Amino acid sequence: MADLLWDWSYKCSILTTQTKCKGGSGTFTTTEQQGSGGDLYYLVTDITGTVEGNTITSLVAPNSLGLKNDNKLSAPSGIPYANIGHKITGIAFLTNNDAPISANGNLLFSNFIDDFIGYYTQISGPSGLALENVDFSVKQVGDAAPAGMAAVHGA
């Protein structure tokens, strides 16, 4: 089984509440699709990039630092996995080599509002970071290469 590479990015929409939103982008590395039936997902095993000008330096292990993160992307869409019952989980990461404590954690997640609006993506983090309703996009770009090998990128 090969790990998968995804390019992700976000920009701020007119509905984003933080006024000085800078946007961000990077790469996810995930497992191949997992789960069954209506519960299909990819597990994020690595993340790189920037969020609001801050360099992402590490992925936070699932359910650690008190963040209740699951580090899953929904299949086949690739958006952060949204759980039943409005339970907020997501992809947790640290920036700028911050210490691995709850106060430094960032969370990229999808939230279900209602049947009319549906899901939207948010980013929360330290120092009052609360980006609601960002324009998030993700695209699978190929397979991750084993250590020491070049990655294979697709169209």
Cis preceding-peptide flag for 126 (omega within 30 of 0)? no
- Give the total number of structural domains in the chain: 1
- Highest-pLDDT range among 36-45, 86-95, 96-105: 96-105
Please write the tens of the pLDDT for every residue from 67-100.
889 999 988 878 787 766 667 789 999 999 999 9
Assign 3-class secondary structure to the chain. Answer: CCCEEEEEEEECCCCCCCCCCCCEEEEEEECCCEEECCEEEEEEEEEEEEECCEEEEEECCCCCCCCCCCCEEECCCCCECCCHHHCCCCEEEEECCCCCCHHHCEEEEEEECCCCCCEEEEEECCCCCEEEEEEEEEEEEEECCCCCCCCEECC
The pTM of the full predicted model, rounded to 2 decimals, is 0.84
Is the model more confident about 48 or about 152?
A: 48
pLDDT at 19 over 60: yes
Domain that holds residue 137: 4-153
What confidence score (pLDDT) does residue 84 get? 64
What confidence score (pLDDT) does residue 153 get? 46
pLDDT at 7 over 50: yes
What is the mean predicted confidence (pLDDT) over 9-14?
A: 84
What is the mean predicted confidence (pLDDT) over 89-113?
A: 90
